[in-house]
Amino acid sequence: MLTRQRIQGLIFLATTAIGAGCISVGRPLPPTSTPTVVARAQDIPLVPIPPPPLGQNQNEESKPAPLPAIPASMPNIPAVSSSTPPTASTEATIVPASATTTITPRQLYETALSKFQHVDSYIVRLTRREMVKGEMNPEEIMLFKFRKNPWSIYFKWLSKEGAGREVLYVKGRYEDKIHTVLAAGDIPFMPAGKRMALSPDNILVRSATRHPITQAGIAASIDKIGEFISAIERGDRKAGTVTVIGPIQRPEFEKPAYAIEHVLGVGFDPSMPRGGTRWYYFDPENGLPMLITAKDERGQEVEYYRYDRLQPDVNLDDSDFDPDSIWAKPK
């Protein structure tokens, strides 16, 4: 019999309406200011960057422009004049404000949107903790590969928790199913390395995580931010309220970071139907929402998604997301 814990181990449907998502970051909000685009190459790659796909004509003029190598900080984003400490973590510390001009949630959103809209693929490391059906699952660390077209994701567990597990999904291909390789102990009487495939709509899949697999990745967070900012501007009371807090010193970042605090109204988010608060922390090095945390209406942590070691535009091809190619048996 499959326990809920085993199912959770079997199928990883990542974060992030929040930590989660598709690189197609949706429809941008009407700009009210010119965003400051920030980016810098990460210092330690998680894995070697793969070479360009073989057998394809590479038209340099048609390739997306590389991310601009702009300063290692966000000097043009002023400090918030009236910050209040976030409740997402006791390890977060407010840094005294150095200016009186406030930055808006829209500015942070538009900066991230501008930075990421031309990224077609990336590799990143994901650290995840989340509560499912009232139980907080152990922390997991994963390698995460993403390709925009066709929409493709691949996860490989790097931590002791779930070691050896892999999950792959390509929208519209391979029977439109989630393909997985089991870790030891995932399912009773099934050995490590056993392959399985399930529909994303399968009840076992839907009950195993807080968010669907189609909301996995960094840009889904950007999409989500744009959606609730737009809803709040339209006067949707269920959307709640949004505030910029910071600069905040978090242990995940070397420098103080800004965050968007979203207090959700009741019924606005299916993952927190009774409301709660979610924080999107923007990495001071690249301006992207690389840390997402959330607490429910009782103040209990229910989500933690941390992305680091980002490598954008790594030329991932079909072989990186082909289950038969990745998991081919040695001859």
pLDDT, tens digit, 9 for 90 and up, residues 105-143: 999 999 999 999 889 999 999 999 999 888 898 999 999
pLDDT for the residue 107: 96
Domain count across the chain: 1
**pLDDT (tens digit, 9 = 90+) per residue, 182-218?**
998 888 888 999 999 989 888 777 766 788 888 889 9
For residue 239 the two structure tokens come to: 């959307």
pLDDT for the residue 88: 40
Is residue 44 situated within a structural domain?
no
pTM confidence score? 0.73
Q: What is the CATH number of the domain that holds 286?
A: 2.50.20.10
Residues 102, 78 contacting (CB under 8 angstroms): yes
Pairing assessment for the beta strands 152-157 and 121-132 based on DSSP bridges: unpaired
Is residue 53 situated within a structural domain?
no
Tokens 């077609």 belong to 120
Please check the confidence at residue 54 and state whether its pLDDT lies above 80: no
For residue 131 the two structure tokens come to: 């509560």
Is residue 137 situated within a structural domain?
yes
Separation between Cα atoms, residue 319 and residue 145, nearest integer Å: 12
Q: What SS3 state is found at 315? A: coil
DSSP per-residue codes, 134-195: TEEPPPEEEEEEEETTTTEEEEEE-SSTTTT-EEEEETTSGGG-EEEEPPTTSSTT--TT-E
Is residue 172 situated within a structural domain?
yes
Domain hosting 164: range is 8-21+73-323
Q: What SS3 state is found at 253? A: coil
Name the residue among 146, 204, 141 with its Cα closest to residue 170: 146
Please check the confidence at residue 47 and state whether its pLDDT lies above 80: no
Please check the confidence at residue 45 and state whether its pLDDT lies above 50: no
Is residue 156 situated within a structural domain?
yes
Is residue 40 situated within a structural domain?
no
pLDDT for the residue 255: 95
Q: What SS3 state is found at 43? A: coil
Is residue 166 situated within a structural domain?
yes
For residue 298 the two structure tokens come to: 């009782």
**CA-to-CA separations, 206 to 148, 200, 214, in angstroms, rounded:** 23, 7, 12
Please report how many Cα atoms fall inside a 13 Å half-sphere around the Cα of residue 174, on the Cβ side. Answer: 24
Give the range among 75-89, 102-116, 261-275 with minimum mean pLDDT. 75-89
Phi then psi dihedrals of residue 97, to 5 deg: -65, 145
Percent over 70 (pLDDT), the chain: 68
Please report how many Cα atoms fall inside a 13 Å half-sphere around the Cα of residue 176, on the Cβ side. Answer: 6
Is residue 194 situated within a structural domain?
yes
